[in-house]
Amino acid sequence: MRPLSLILIIASLLLACKQESRVADTKLLAEFESEYKDWLKLSEGDQGFDFTGKDLQGNNVKFSDFRGKYVYLDVWATWCGPCRREIPYLKQLEADYHGRNIVFISYSIDDDKQAWLDFVTENELGGVQIIGENAWQSEMTKYYKVNGVPTFMFFDPEGKIISIKMTRPSDDETREKFDSYTDL
């Protein structure tokens, strides 16, 4: 479905630009081709990006530190209303899957590290809490083309992509997806 949607968007934009010069069409098409090729790299079964973030104590935490476990990754920010609304559901998922072969990583894109630390502490957030360097401009957000939060992703124990557009904790489909993996 995603490739078809992207093709329809490209076609619509090109038709809208019909009145413009051929040079503009060529440049636009080249930009979309480049984006599309990058997007294709992010397919199910591909190796996930080995990003790094800082935990609450300031230690480096790498994605690869969790090899051997499924990873449910939440890209979020303290100032994000929809992110905050997902927290109770995420806490419940963490509790329900405690002791299972899954780790819950919350990767903050906050600019204000102290606001992030205070929020995580005051709200007793569980899972692995990390903050990325450079917020929206982090290597991880660029690699996965994160353009909005919250964004949820799901990886297998080898660190391979299951979904980079995973359902939210509040969606029943999330549990169904988790439960479809017998080794989770």
CATH code, domain carrying 97: 3.40.30.10
Helices (H) and strands (E) in the chain, counts: 6, 7
pLDDT greater than 50 at residue 175: yes
Cα–Cα dist 105/128, whole Å: 5
Q: Kind of pairing, strands 128-131 and 102-108? A: parallel
Has residue 45 been placed in a domain?
no
How many domains does the structure of the chain reveal?
2
pLDDT per position as a tens digit, 137-158: 999 999 999 999 999 999 999 9
- State whether 82 and 142 are in the same domain: yes
More confident residue, 19 or 60: 60
Question: Helix, strand or coil for residue 165?
Answer: coil
pLDDT greater than 60 at residue 5: no
- State whether 174 and 87 are in the same domain: yes
**Domain enclosing residue 154, as ranges:** 52-179
Token duo for residue 157: 């124990």
More confident residue, 14 or 51: 51
